[in-house]
Amino acid sequence: MIKENQKLLNYVNVISDAVMGILSIIISYLFTFYILNLDKNFPLIDYIKLSCIFIPIQLMTYACMRLYDSFRTKSFASEFGRLFFAFIFDGLFIIALLYVIKIFNFSRIALFIFLLTDLIIISAKRFAMRKMLKNLRKKGYNRKSVIIIGSGQAAQDYLRTINREKDYGYVCAGYISDTQTLSAKWLGSFDKLTAALKLKNYDEAICALNVE
């Protein structure tokens, strides 16, 4: 169920990022030519056509930078850092694209405002989605069921972390170990691991064995 939810969230992210791109080019056009009152060189429809070429490249950049992976245990600063690097790369790409196809009359100011607006809107959207998902996880929704393999210090630290950080959305369904030392459900010794994994479809199995 979690995997299906993650796929749905990825689809929503991709589609909303594309919509934000179209919205950003319209905002930048109106701001550049109606608020800053600069001379128009191309109609709005031409800027939208350019964005329709650019946005698929932008989405591929996001995918390559793993911006559609799960960020439940990563900070927003980490996610924004990747967005910013994508902003730099995409800015250089659109300049190179216009040079290659020999179109020099698109307003550089409008294009810069487009990229900046896109960065701000997408960052705000992703921040809002983070807050919404964290609140849902705290209420018990969209949680991942995990099984811990081991019961040493590493396992204890991991269990303590997921119990403390409820917004991560992880729930310990039990642990496998030869000793019963964790404050969680004991599922058997190590020789029962295969049977335990077959018995229930856990979202993740965490190997937390101490290094001897």
Flag whether the pTM goes above 0.75.
no
For the record, the structure tokens of 152 come out as 């040493």
User: 6-38, pLDDT tens digit by residue?
Assistant: 677 888 889 999 999 999 999 999 999 999 888
Q: What is the arithmetic mean of pLDDT over 155-168?
A: 84
| Helices marked H in the chain | 2-30, 44-64, 76-100, 108-138, 153-164, 193-199
